[in-house]
Structure formats: structure tokens, C-alpha cells
């Protein structure tokens, strides 16, 4: 059995959809953040897979993924910092309470 | 760049802006405003003298002092300047009104900011009249419009937020049409393969806007400028806007800004698109003919002084556009004279209304009466302004209206002549509403006992009104001078549309 | 002719107006009056010199006996096109020379008279300033070289009349009257203006000389064009005549003149009796050769004139205010002049009558100016003495005010047409011209002449005889400054009839001798005497006869007293129809429909933004939904397009 790109892409797609679903339905911001990470990682997998199967001689996809992981780490740190601050002021991490930025 | 005299019409206001920014107290602000506006009057007088000298020496160019500096090369935008007799007349008008307006707002509150915006507005006005590049012209046009919003919104009275918003939005709506028209003109400004240009003189020389595009672009530009010229049915910003504006702003707006509309109509719409003007003029003739009579009728029943005068402006400015659309030399000369005349006398009106309002705190003619006994000087000025407005010979209204009527009636087409007669009817209606106000406001017994303690004009108010009255009388007594100044441009050789009749 | 004097004739009154108008409030009453009178006196002398030189110096009469028309100067003022130029000039011909004399004489008399009449009034300086302005405008009008110059000064006299009628600006009635006068005449001027436009469109000239010296050319220039069934020339002439109707208070535009009596009495004498109101007659006379071409236009003039003459005479019989009686009498007499002009041009009858009416009209204009000014100034003296305008407050005044009485009597005799007073001669010429044109119009005008004699003497007897009311303090004659003008004008009225007018003023400027038509003269004198006798019988002393007559014909009295309800009709038209029926709906339309449409653009924009605003809910997860749906849609659209 040969592992073609599709074997990697379908799990990535499932991961991504799960991330989207989670991001939309979860009300806890931490959970939303995790969903976000899920989507990000799904995309990272795609990058690596396309690089590996379509352009094996090039390395851009790999590098891009590495960068993305690094940035995702930073972003997560930032997001958690924000969430903690929100929690401090609101005593809640429920996203529905955060609608001050409306019209 | 600074070797061209015209550029100083923009430089002086800019220097004034700088000076105002440095001012510490009201005396300095007044000094800057008065010095600057005197400098502008002097400059326009100098340009006038130079211009006359050049014409006397046989200069036959359509424009003089022409100059052009590249501003943005990819789109070929220049700062291009040049004037002819008409622009000079407008420059003189503007400088006189800025001068009178400075005196009329002698005791305005928060003078520094007020004068800053006012001078910025006049920068736009002067820039518009000297520009011959469509893009910079449009830019100055916008520069003149925007300060209006703040001036009315901050220093106005009554329902000022509504009025300021309405005025700005309607004029911006007009600008949208206008922008579309101007861009259209730009893309057809040169024959196939030629260098596109915004320069009015070059566009007119190329004459390359084809007929189909003209019939699209002419209404765009005409309506765009017509909104500012208070053309029916786009005039409704005028009554509300004028009613809420502070004195000097009303003066400048009715006196100069509305002239931008008429000036643009003939300088851009008719000058650049003669065939379309010739074919489509009848549509706009009907609209402007309606403005003339309709504005006058509406003025008859209003009781707020500023509303009366705003509707009267609709009527008089309608006459400007009406005459421009007659497309013959005499009528168009009359239109420009009407711009001058209306600019001066309406500024006088608004100045006087502002002064009366400043004392009585009401503009309702039903709440006032017998002002002649209380403030004879202002009342006499009001009568003079009224007489100018209803066309008393010896004052400016008469010569301009008669030039328009005689010129329009020379049109060979029966439709135009009949319409001229309809427009003539406005002189009777004008007499009705002017005399109604004069009779109610100035004559008769004193209505309100409290008014008896009011004082007559102060020296700066006198100076402001006297300046305007002298100008009104000058046009009325020596019309031929202005006639010759203006009608040089209206020749078939320069104005292609005149050759089409 | 040198142009210095003519320029001064116009410049001095104008300068006086400016001086008194600007610096008047700083002057004492005496100084202002002295300036005004001195200015007018100088103008008077200069005008007399000019006019008399013109009439008597041989160089102004051509070899064929024709008087020349002289354009003393003509400065271009405003050039509309190459041909259509408004010039300001000084045109001297028989009628303008005559008008110079009339205007300056009356104006000077009024200046003098006002010294006493207006003494101590508030705004005394302003009064003299306006008088000077009026004199300037009126002089400019009569010496106009072109029709547009005439229009300019026509407007100026209108404005000065407005200012003078409204002199007592604190009174509502004066303000209303001045407004009415201005607007009614402005309406007529609209007709005048359109007439000028039409005429100048075809002839391409404003110049009087060009139009009148060869009128057939004017006819040709129209090329037989017609408009709504009538030739354009008829239209133009009738429209120009409309202007004349307004200024000369012909029916139906007469309504302003009686109200104009709200002004000071000397003003009524100057403007509303002697000079401005005859401007319409003067206009038609000026354009006379052109009018002669158009039978239909002159027909209209005759009909309007005849109806007005009769109407005004009827109304004058039933008025109480003596100034109003005089005002209606003025209307009636001007209508006489109009009729005379109308019948002159039609060319009926013998050759000698051709143009007789023109001369008669001008003659009557001259004599009427003198005796009507006299009557008005006399009325002023009466009002000054008893402080009321109504004859009910007067009676038996002949004993108290002998000078006024005698001069007033002379005025009445003159207007009634009793020889040898001036009115007899001029009216006789008019009647002769009428009879020559058509016996019907002759009889009609004779009837009006009889009514004239009746109402004038009715007024005379009611003021000076009748029954003496109780006076609080005995009335007495006016001061010298007021009596001198009365005496002077009375003297003129006695002798003016003997002026050989035909030698000076004729339609073709060819002198000819006036001869009195005995049948017409005798019959009109007899009729006038009968009318006076009736008036004497009814009003010489208090008796119930007038009351009985009034009771017998109540309808007639009511209608005459209320001036046939013309004012009410105008009130209805202007207020109900124009003001409430046009202006108010239009203003409503503007505020609610036009402005409403503009506002509705803003409202719709606001509503739309309100409607889409909840999309920005602040709920992050909603945004994700929108994003997701949008992205999917875009992807779908792209897919459809690509595949």
C-alpha cells in the first residue's frame, strides 16, 4: 500500500473542520483557542504534504510550517495573556459576554 | 513658480492662515484678517489693471498670466493657472466679500478657529477661480466646501447640525457627479493616442470629446456645478444652510460660493462641450426657468429673513444659469454680471440680516417692525439692498437683469423668447417680497418695545456695508466697464458654442 | 446746442439728492430746504433758458418750418450688442422742452410750498432729498433719447414715488399705499419691458429718432410676424402702452393712485397730479408716429381712455376725501389726454384734424399740470388749516381763507372748462378732435366733461360754502411761502390758454394755428355751466337734496363710493389667488415634496444602515459564520465561473 497525499490531506481536512466547528460552537475562549490551533496545525500539515508530494526538491513548505509553528506559539502566548486579562476584569472567559465592540 | 502673479491669490490666504495660527488675541486676529483681505483686494485690482493693459495692447489670448507646474506626472495633473476678464471679475468680487465679511464677523466668538476656517474657505475660492486645470480646480472646489460644514456646525444658529449636514451632503452629492464628469472629460481630452490632459485650454483646443460622450458628460458636470448654483430641484440645501450659517459665512457662501457653481457651469460644462450644450440646454433651461419664478414665489410667504433671502438667491442664481444656457454673448455677459451683482447685494443682505439678528435675536419679520426708527443706518442700507435686488436703475441688479433679458430675448427661437418673458415675471414677484419685508420690518410702528433700546451700526458694521453698497452702485452706474471686461471671452473664436447658434 | 446746460439740468438735482441724502441728517432744516430750493431754482432757470432757446431761437427751426429734433448729447451707458445700446442722453424736441418747463415749474413751486407745509416735520431733509431725486428722474425721463433710457428713469420715478408716498413711514396706511403703488406700476412696467424687448428684437434699436422718423421702417422690420393672431407690432405697442397705463393710472391699473394720496400733499401735487402720472401720456406721445401705424393699438388706447375717464369721473362724484376727489379727477383728466392721443392717430376727418388730438393732448397735459397742481396745493392749504382730509370737516371756508378760496376757484373753473381759463382751450381741442374722429366718442367725452364740472364744483361748494362746522380755532390762510405758489399757478391757469400752443407742439413739429371750433366750444361751455349750476343748486348751502339723491340711488352711490369695488377685486386676486393659491402651495411643495425627497434620500440611507447594523453584533463567532458563508459562496462562485 502506497501512501499518497490524500492519506494525509483527509485527516488534515477533518482536523480543520473540527477546528472550525469548535471555534464556532465553543463559548469558552480557551476552547476556541484550542480550536484555532487545530485549524492552524491542519494547515501546517497541508503545507508539508504538498511540499513533500508536489515539489520534493524544494523546502519552502517545510520552512513555512516551521515559521508558522513558531508564530503560532507566540500568538498563543499572546492570546492566553489577553484571555487572562479578560478573565481578571470580567471574571469569565465566555466569549458571549465580550460584545462591547459592536456597532 | 512665484514669478506668476496669480499664485499669490493662494499664497496670501495661506500666509494669513499661518499668521492666524500664531495670533494670541483678537486684535491680532483682526489685524491679520483685515491686512490679508486688503492685500487681496489690492492684488485683484492690480491684476485687473494689468489685464486691461494687456488687452489694450492687443493681446487676444483667451487667458492671460497662463502658467502651469507639474504636480503628479503619471496622471498629467498640473497646477495650472490663468485668468480672463470673467475670472478677474470673480476674484474682485471674492476679495471684496472676504473684506466685508471680516468686518461683519468682528465680534464672533472663538475668532481664531473661525477665521482659520473662513480663510481656508477663501483659499479654496480663490484657487478655484485662478485654476485652469480641471483636477486642481476640483480640489480647490472641495477645499472651499468642507470648511462650510464646520463653520455652520460650530458657529451657526438654529437647527445647525441638520443644516450643516444637509448642505455638505447635497454639495458632496453634486461633487460626485462632477468628479465623474471631470474624469470622463480627462479620458477624452485628447484625440486617439494623444497626451491626455486636465488643462481646460488644451481640452478646448483639442475639441476631441466626441458627441456621444458629450451628451453624457455635459449633464454630469452641469448638474454637479448646478447643485452649488442652487438649480431647481437641487436647491433645498440653500434655505436651510443659509438660515443656520453665521453672518460672514452666509455672505461668503451666497456671495461667492454659489458663484462657483455658475462659473463652473460655463467654464467647464459649456466651454468644453459645446455641441451637447447646444442640444441639451433646453432641459436645463426649463429647470432654471422654474428656479427663477419658483424661488421668487416661495420667498413671498416666508417670514424668516434668512429664508426669504435664501429663496431670493435661488431665484437670482437661477437667472444666472438661465442666462448662461441662452448661449449667446449678451445673455452670458448678463449672467456674469448677475453673478457679480447678486454676490454683492446678497452679501449685503446677509450682513444686514446678521447685524439685525445680532441685536433683536429674532429673524421673524412678524416679531419686528419699525426698525427705521430704531436703527436708521441699517434700515437705510436694507432699503438700498432691497432696491438693488428688485432692480432699481443705478444699482447693480438692474443692469445685470436687463442684460440677461435683452440678451435672452435676442434668441432666434420662439421657445427661448417665451421663456424669457416668463423669467421677466420674476421682477414683479421680487418687488412683492422685497417690499413686503421692507414694509413689515423697517416701516410701520415699532412692534416690540424692547427693541427701542437697541443701538445702530458700529463703525466696523458701517465699513462692511459701505464697501458693499459702493460696489453695488459702481456696477449699477458704470455697467459698460464690466460689460467690456466680461464679454471679451464670449466670442465664437473662444467660446465654440456661440458659433453654433 | 451746448451740452453744458442740459448736463447741469440733470446733474444739479442729482447732486442735491446725494448731498441731502448723505449729509442731510447733519443739517438743519433751514439749510436743507435752502439747498433744495436753490438747486431746484437753478434747474428751473437753466431749463427755461434751454426750452425757450429751443422754441424761439431760429436755428432750431429748419428751412421748411419744421422744428428740429436735437440730441444734445448721447453717451453710451451699456452696450448689449452692437446695435442695442442704452445711451444716456438729452433729447430736445417740442414735447421734451415743454415738459422741462412743466416739471421744473411745478417742482420749484412744490419745493417752495413745502417749506411751509412740511415745517418742523421729522425727516424734513429726507423729504427734500427725495424731491430732488424725483425731479432728477422725471427730467431724465422726458429727455430720454432712447426707450431704454426712458425705462430707466421710468423705474426711478417709480422708486422716488414709492419713497415719497411712504414718507410718513410710521403709518401703516402710508406703507401699504406706497407698496401698492410700486407693485402695481411694477406690474405695468413688466408689460413695458416686454414691449421694449419685442420691439427691439425686430427693430434692433432702442433709439427714438430712428423709430419715429421713419415709422414705416419699424413696420417693415417686423416682417409681418404675428403672435396669437395679432401682429407683433401691435403686441409691442400695446405692451408698451400697458406701462403707460400703470404710470398714468388707466383702468384697470388705476388702483394705486387714490391710495397714493397718503403721501404729503405737495408730493401729490408734484408727482401724482402734474408730472409722473402723465409719463404714460408722454410715452405714447413720444412713440406717436409708431402708434399711428397700428389702428388696433390706438383703438385700445381710445377705449381704455374713454372708459377710464368716465369711471373716474363717476367715482369722483361720490368721494368724501378731497384729495381722493382730486386723484380721481386726475385719472379722468389723464384719460382725456390718452383719448386725445388715440383719436389723433387714426387719421379720420379732414387733414387739419390729423394730429390735432396730439397737440390737444399735450396742451391739456400742460394746462392740467398747472391747474391740478394748483388744486392740490390748495387742498394742501385746506388740510393744513383744518387738519382733516374730508370735506365734512370743512365748509364756509371762503371767509377764513380768501387766497386759497380764490385760487381754488380759478383751478375749478379751469378744470371745468370755462373760458378764459386755460382748461377751456385745451379741453376744447380734445373734444374737437374726438368729434372729428367719431361723434360717439365726442358725446361720451362731453358727458365726462360735464361730470368733471359737476364734481369739481360739488367739492368747491362743499368746502367753501355749504354749512360752517364748528372750528376749534379759526382756520386762516397759509403762510407766504405756501401762498406764493398758489397765486403763481392761478395766474398761469388764467393765461396759459392763450399760448399759441400749436406753434410749439405738433405731432409732425410743423407749427400751425389753433382755431376754436365754435360749435364744440359753445356746447361744451353750456354743458359745463349747466353742470356747475346743478352743483350750485345742490351744495351752496346745507339742504337735504344730496341726501335725498343718495337715498334714491343707493346702489349707484355705494358703487361709486367704493370705486366700483376694484380694490376689493384686487385684494381677492392678490391675497386669495396669488398669495394663498400659488405662493403658499408652492412653499409647501418646496418644503415637503422637493425637500422631502432630498431628506428621504438621507432617511433611506439611514434606514438601510440601521437595517444592516446588527451584523456588527460584537459576537466573534457570528463573524466567523459570516466569514465562512462568504468564503464558501465566493468559492462556489469561483468554481462555477472556472468550470
Backbone angles phi, psi at C229, to 5 degrees: 90, -20
Closest CA to C300 of C356, C266, C347, C251: C251
The whole-number pLDDT of residue C349 equals 43
Distances in whole angstroms, Cα of residue B493 to Cα of each of B60, B65, B211, B498: 10, 19, 20, 8
User: What are the respective helix, strand and coil percentages of chain A, to the nearest 5?
Assistant: 80, 0, 20
The whole-number pLDDT of residue C425 equals 87
Cβ contact (<8 Å) for B405 and C170? Answer: no
- Grid coordinates given for C455: 364734481
Backbone angles phi, psi at C207, to 5 degrees: -70, 130
The whole-number pLDDT of residue B501 equals 62
pLDDT digits over C573-606, tens only?
888 888 888 888 888 988 888 888 888 988 999 9
Closest CA to B316 of B413, B411, B222, B433: B433
3-state secondary structure of C121: coil
User: What are the respective helix, strand and coil percentages of chain C, to the nearest 5?
Assistant: 75, 5, 20
Task: Give the integer Cα–Cα distance in Å for C1 and C54.
Answer: 9
Cβ contact (<8 Å) for C80 and B445? Answer: no
User: Smallest CA–CA separation between C636 and chain A, in Å?
Assistant: 18
Give chain A positions within 8 Å (CB) of C632: none
Task: Give the integer Cα–Cα distance in Å for B454 and B456.
Answer: 7
Closest CA to B396 of B100, B89, B155: B89
Contact assessment for residue B174 and residue B223, using Cβ atoms and an 8 Å cutoff: yes
pLDDT tens, N- to C-terminus, chain B (501 residues):
778 888 899 999 999 999 988 888 888 989 999 999 999 999 999 999 999 998 888 888 888 888 888 888 888 898 999 998 899 999 999 999 999 988 888 888 888 888 999 999 999 999 999 999 999 999 999 998 888 899 998 888 888 889 999 999 899 989 999 999 999 999 888 888 788 889 888 888 888 888 888 899 999 999 999 998 888 888 888 888 888 888 888 888 888 888 999 999 988 888 888 888 888 888 999 999 988 998 999 898 888 888 999 999 999 999 999 999 888 888 989 999 999 999 999 999 999 999 998 888 888 888 888 888 888 899 999 999 999 998 899 899 999 999 999 999 988 888 888 889 989 999 999 999 999 999 888 888 888 888 888 888 889 889 999 999 999 999 999 999 999 888 888 877 777 777 776
The whole-number pLDDT of residue C354 equals 64
Give chain A positions within 8 Å (CB) of C618: 98-103
| 8-state DSSP, C68 | P
A1 interfaces chain C, CB cutoff of 8 Å: no
Number of C-beta neighbours around residue B211 at 10 A? 10
Per the prediction, chain C carries an average pLDDT of: 87
Task: Give the integer Cα–Cα distance in Å for C507 and C512.
Answer: 11
Asked if residue C353 has pLDDT above 70, the reply is no
The angle that helices A29-54 and A5-25 make with each other, rounded to 10 degrees, is 160
Contact assessment for residue B479 and residue C77, using Cβ atoms and an 8 Å cutoff: yes
C616 interfaces chain A, CB cutoff of 8 Å: yes
Average pLDDT for C33-52 = 92
- Grid coordinates given for C467: 354749512
Stretches where chain A sits below pLDDT 70 are 103
pLDDT digits over A85-99, tens only?
999 988 888 888 887
| 8-state DSSP, C613 | G
Task: Give the integer Cα–Cα distance in Å for C258 and B383.
Answer: 25
Backbone angles phi, psi at C170, to 5 degrees: -80, -15
Closest CA to C277 of C306, C238, C248: C248
The whole-number pLDDT of residue B45 equals 93
A23 interfaces chain C, CB cutoff of 8 Å: yes
CB pairs under 8 A between A and C: 30
Cβ contact (<8 Å) for C172 and B444? Answer: yes
Q: Which residues pair with C79 in a beta bridge?
A: C85
pLDDT digits over B384-397, tens only?
999 999 889 989 99
Average pLDDT for C342-363 = 70
pLDDT digits over C278-315, tens only?
999 999 998 888 888 878 888 899 999 999 999 999 89
- Grid coordinates given for C254: 388705476
Q: How confident is the model at residue C549 (pLDDT cuts 50, 70, 90)?
A: confident
pLDDT digits over C382-423, tens only?
888 888 888 888 878 888 888 888 999 999 999 988 888 888
User: Smallest CA–CA separation between A1 and chain C, in Å?
Assistant: 33
The whole-number pLDDT of residue C310 equals 92
Asked whether at least 3 C-beta pairs link A and B within 8 Å, the reply is no
Reported as half-sphere exposure (CB side, CA atoms, 13 A), residue B277 has a value of 28
Per the prediction, chain B carries an average pLDDT of: 89
DSSP state letters, C403-433: HHHHHHHHHHHHHHT-TTSHHHHHHHHHHHH
Closest CA to B228 of B288, B172, B286, B295: B172
Task: Give the integer Cα–Cα distance in Å for C592 and C74.
Answer: 53
**What's the sign of the alpha-carbon dihedral B371, B376, B382, B384?**
positive
Contact assessment for residue C237 and residue C203, using Cβ atoms and an 8 Å cutoff: no
User: Smallest CA–CA separation between B446 and chain C, in Å?
Assistant: 8
The whole-number pLDDT of residue B466 equals 92
Reported as half-sphere exposure (CB side, CA atoms, 13 A), residue C522 has a value of 2
Backbone angles phi, psi at B106, to 5 degrees: -60, -40
Contact assessment for residue C428 and residue C516, using Cβ atoms and an 8 Å cutoff: yes
Q: Which residues pair with C207 in a beta bridge?
A: C146
ipTM over the 0.85 cut-off: yes
Task: Give the integer Cα–Cα distance in Å for A33 and B430.
Answer: 74
The whole-number pLDDT of residue C348 equals 44
- Grid coordinates given for B145: 466646501
* Exposure class string for C80-93: b at 16+ Cβ within 10 A, else e: bbeebbbbbbbbbb
Amino acid at each position: 500500500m502506497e501512501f499518497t497525499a490524500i492519506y494525509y490531506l483527509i485527516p488534515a481536512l477533518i482536523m480543520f473542520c473540527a477546528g472550525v466547528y469548535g471555534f464556532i460552537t465553543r463559548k469558552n475562549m480557551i476552547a476556541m483557542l484550542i480550536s484555532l490551533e487545530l485549524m492552524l496545525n491542519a494547515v501546517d500539515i497541508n503545507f508539508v504534504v504538498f511540499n513533500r508530494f508536489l515539489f520534493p526538491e524544494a523546502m519552502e513548505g517545510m520552512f513555512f510550517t516551521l515559521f508558522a509553528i513558531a508564530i503560532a506559539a507566540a500568538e498563543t502566548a499572546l492570546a492566553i495573556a489577553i484571555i487572562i486579562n479578560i478573565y481578571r476584569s470580567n471574571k469569565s472567559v465566555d466569549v458571549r459576554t465580550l460584545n462591547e465592540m459592536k456597532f | 513658480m512665484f514669478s506668476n502673479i496669480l499664485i499669490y491669490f493662494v499664497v496670501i490666504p495661506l500666509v494669513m492662515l499661518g499668521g492666524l495660527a500664531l495670533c494670541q488675541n483678537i486684535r491680532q486676529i483682526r489685524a491679520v484678517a483685515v491686512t490679508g483681505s486688503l492685500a487681496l483686494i489690492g492684488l485683484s485690482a492690480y491684476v485687473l489693471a494689468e489685464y486691461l493693459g494687456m488687452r489694450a495692447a492687443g493681446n487676444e489670448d483667451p487667458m492671460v498670466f497662463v502658467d502651469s507646474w507639474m504636480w503628479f506626472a503619471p496622471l498629467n495633473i498640473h497646477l495650472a493657472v490663468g485668468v480672463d476678464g470673467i475670472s478677474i471679475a470673480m476674484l474682485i468680487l471674492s476679495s471684496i466679500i472676504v473684506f466685508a465679511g471680516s468686518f461683519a464677523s468682528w465680534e464672533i466668538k472663538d475668532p481664531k478657529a473661525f477665521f482659520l476656517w473662513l480663510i481656508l474657505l477663501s483659499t479654496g475660492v480663490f484657487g478655484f477661480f485662478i485654476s485652469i486645470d480641471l483636477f486642481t480646480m476640483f480640489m480647490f472646489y472641495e477645499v472651499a466646501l468642507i470648511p462650510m460644514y464646520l463653520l455652520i456646525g460650530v458657529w451657526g444658529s438654529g437647527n445647525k447640525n441638520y443644516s450643516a449636514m444637509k448642505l455638505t451632503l447635497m454639495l458632496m452629492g453634486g461633487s460626485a457627479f462632477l468628479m465623474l464628469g471631470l474624469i470622463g472629460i480627462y479620458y477624452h481630452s485628447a484625440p486617439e493616442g494623444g497626451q491626455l490632459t486636465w488643462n481646460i485650454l488644451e481640452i478646448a483646443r483639442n475639441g476631441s470629446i466626441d458627441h456621444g460622450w458629450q451628451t453624457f458628460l455635459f449633464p454630469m458636470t452641469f448638474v454637479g456645478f448646478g447643485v452649488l448654483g442652487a438649480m431647481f430641484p437641487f436647491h433645498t440645501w440653500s434655505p436651510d444652510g443659509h438660515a443656520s450659517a453665521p453672518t460672514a459665512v452666509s455672505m461668503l457662501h451666497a456671495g461667492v460660493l454659489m458663484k462657483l457653481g455658475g462659473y463652473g457651469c460655463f467654464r467647464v460644462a459649456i466651454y468644453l462641450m459645446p455641441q451637447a450644450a447646444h442640444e441639451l440646454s433646453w432641459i436645463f433651461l426649463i429647470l432654471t426657468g422654474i428656479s427663477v419664478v419658483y424661488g421668487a414665489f416661495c420667498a413671498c410667504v416666508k417670514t424668516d429673513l434668512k429664508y426669504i433671502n435664501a429663496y431670493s438667491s435661488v431665484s437670482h442664481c437661477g437667472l444666472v444659469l438661465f442666462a448662461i444656457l441662452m448661449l449667446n454673448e449678451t445673455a452670458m455677459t448678463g449672467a456674469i454680471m448677475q453673478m457679480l451683482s447678486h454676490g454683492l447685494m446678497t452679501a449685503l443682505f446677509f450682513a444686514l440680516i446678521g447685524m439685525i439678528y445680532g441685536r433683536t435675536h429674532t429673524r421673524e419679520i412678524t416679531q419686528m417692525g419699525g426698525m427705521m426708527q430704531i436703527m436708521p443706518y441699517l434700515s437705510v442700507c436694507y432699503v438700498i439692498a432691497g432696491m438693488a435686488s428688485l432692480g432699481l436703475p443705478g444699482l447693480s441688479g438692474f443692469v445685470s437683469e436687463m442684460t440677461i433679458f435683452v440678451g435672452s430675448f435676442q434668441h432666434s427661437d420662439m421657445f427661448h423668447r417665451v421663456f424669457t418673458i416668463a423669467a421677466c415675471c420674476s421682477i414683479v414677484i421680487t418687488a412683492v417680497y422685497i417690499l413686503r419685508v421692507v414694509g413689515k420690518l423697517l416701516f410701520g410702528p415699532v412692534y416690540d418695545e424692547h427693541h427701542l433700546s437697541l443701538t445702530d451700526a458700529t463703525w466696523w458694521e458701517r465699513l462692511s456695508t459701505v464697501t458693499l453698497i459702493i460696489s453695488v452702485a459702481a456696477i449699477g452706474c458704470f455697467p459698460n466697464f464690466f460689460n467690456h471686461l466680461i464679454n471679451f471671452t464670449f466670442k465664437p473664436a473662444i467660446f465654440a458654442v456661440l458659433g453654433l447658434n | 446746442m451746448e451740452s453744458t446746460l442740459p448736463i447741469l439740468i440733470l446733474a444739479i438735482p442729482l447732486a442735491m439728492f446725494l448731498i441731502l441724502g448723505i449729509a442731510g441728517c447733519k443739517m438743519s432744516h433751514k439749510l436743507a430746504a435752502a439747498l433744495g430750493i436753490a438747486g431746484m431754482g437753478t434747474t428751473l432757470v437753466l431749463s427755461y433758458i434751454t426750452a425757450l432757446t429751443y422754441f424761439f431761437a431760429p436755428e432750431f427751426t429748419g428751412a421748411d418750418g419744421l422744428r428740429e429734433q436735437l440730441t444734445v448729447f448721447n453717451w453710451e451707458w451699456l452696450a448689449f450688442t452692437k446695435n442695442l445700446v442704452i445711451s444716456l442722453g438729452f433729447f430736445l424736441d417740442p414735447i421734451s422742452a415743454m415738459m422741462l418747463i412743466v416739471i421744473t415749474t411745478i417742482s420749484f413751486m412744490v419745493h417752495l410750498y413745502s417749506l411751509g407745509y412740511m415745517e418742523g416735520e421729522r425727516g424734513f431733509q429726507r423729504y427734500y432729498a427725495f424731491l430732488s431725486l424725483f425731479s432728477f428722474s422725471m427730467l431724465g425721463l422726458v429727455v430720454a433719447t432712447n426707450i431704454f433710457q426712458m425705462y430707466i428713469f421710468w423705474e426711478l420715478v417709480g422708486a422716488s414715488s414709492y419713497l415719497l408716498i411712504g414718507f410718513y413711514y410710521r403709518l401703516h396706511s402710508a406703507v401699504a399705499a406706497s407698496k401698492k403703488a410700486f407693485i402695481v406700476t411694477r406690474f405695468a412696467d413688466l408689460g413695458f419691458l416686454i414691449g421694449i424687448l419685442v420691439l427691439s428684437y425686430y427693430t434692433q434699436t432702442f433709439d427714438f429718432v430712428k423709430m419715429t422718423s421713419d415709422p414705416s421702417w419699424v413696420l417693415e422690420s417686423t416682417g409681418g410676424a404675428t403672435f396669437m393672431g395679432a401682429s407683433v407690432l401691435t403686441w409691442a405697442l400695446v405692451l408698451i402702452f400697458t406701462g403707460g397705463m400703470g404710470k398714468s393710472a388707466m383702468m384697470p391699473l388705476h388702483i394705486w393712485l387714490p391710495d397714493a394720496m397718503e403721501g404729503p400733499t405737495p408730493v401729490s401735487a408734484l408727482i401724482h397730479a402734474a408730472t409722473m402720472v402723465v409719463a404714460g401720456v408722454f410715452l405714447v406721445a413720444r412713440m406717436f408716429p409708431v402708434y399711428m401705424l397700428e389702428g388696433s393699438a390706438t383703438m385700445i388706447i381710445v377705449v381704455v381712455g374713454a372708459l377710464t375717464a368716465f369711471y373716474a369721473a363717476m367715482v369722483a362724484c361720490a368721494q368724501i376725501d378731497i384729495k381722493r376727489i382730486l386723484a380721481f379727477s386726475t385719472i379722468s383728466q389723464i384719460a382725456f389726454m390718452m383719448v386725445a392721443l388715440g383719436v389723433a392717430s387714426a387719421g379720420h376727418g379732414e387733414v387739419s384734424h390729423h394730429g390735432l388730438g396730439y397737440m390737444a393732448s399735450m396742451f391739456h397735459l400742460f394746462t392740467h399740470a398747472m391747474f391740478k397742481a394748483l388744486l392740490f396745493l390748495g387742498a394742501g392749504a385746506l388740510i393744513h388749516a383744518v387738519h382733516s382730509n374730508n370735506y365734512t370737516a370743512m365748509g364756509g371756508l371762503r371767509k377764513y381763507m380768501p387766497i386759497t378760496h380764490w385760487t381754488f376757484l380759478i383751478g375749478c373753473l379751469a378744470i371745468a372748462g370755462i373760458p378764459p381759463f386755460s382748461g377751456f382751450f385745451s379741453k376744447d381741442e380734445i373734444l374737437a378732435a374726438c368729434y372729428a374722429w367719431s361723434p360717439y366718442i365726442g358725446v361720451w367725452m362731453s358727458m365726462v366733461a360735464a361730470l368733471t364740472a359737476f364734481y369739481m364744483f360739488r367739492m368747491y361748494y362743499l368746502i367753501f360754502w355749504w354749512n360752517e362746522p364748528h372750528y376749534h380755532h379759526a382756520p386762516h390762510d397759509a403762510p407766504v411761502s405756501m401762498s406764493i405758489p398758489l397765486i403763481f399757478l392761478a395766474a398761469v391757469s388764467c393765461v396759459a390758454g392763450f399760448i399759441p400752443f400749436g406753434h410749439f407742439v405738433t405731432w409732425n413739429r410743423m407749427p400751425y394755428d389753433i382755431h376754436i371750433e365754435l360749435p364744440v366750444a359753445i356746447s361744451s361751455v353750456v354743458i359745463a355751466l349747466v353742470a356747475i349750476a346743478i352743483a350750485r343748486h345742490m351744495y351752496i348751502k346745507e339742504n337735504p337734496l344730496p341726501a335725498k339723491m343718495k337715498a334714491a340711488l343707493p346702489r349707484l352711490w355705494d358703487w361709486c363710493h367704493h370705486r366700483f369695488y376694484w380694490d376689493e377685486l384686487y385684494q381677492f386676486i392678490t391675497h386669495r389667488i396669488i398669495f394663498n393659491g400659488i405662493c403658499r402651495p408652492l412653499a409647501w411643495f418646496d418644503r415637503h415634496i422637493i425637500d422631502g425627497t432630498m431628506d428621504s434620500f438621507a432617511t433611506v440611507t439611514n434606514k438601510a444602515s440601521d437595517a444592516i447594523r446588527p451584523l456588527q453584533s460584537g459576537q466573534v463567532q457570528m463573524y466567523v459564520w459570516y466569514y465562512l458563508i462568504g468564503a464558501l459562496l465566493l468559492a462556489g462562485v469561483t468554481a462555477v465561473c472556472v468550470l
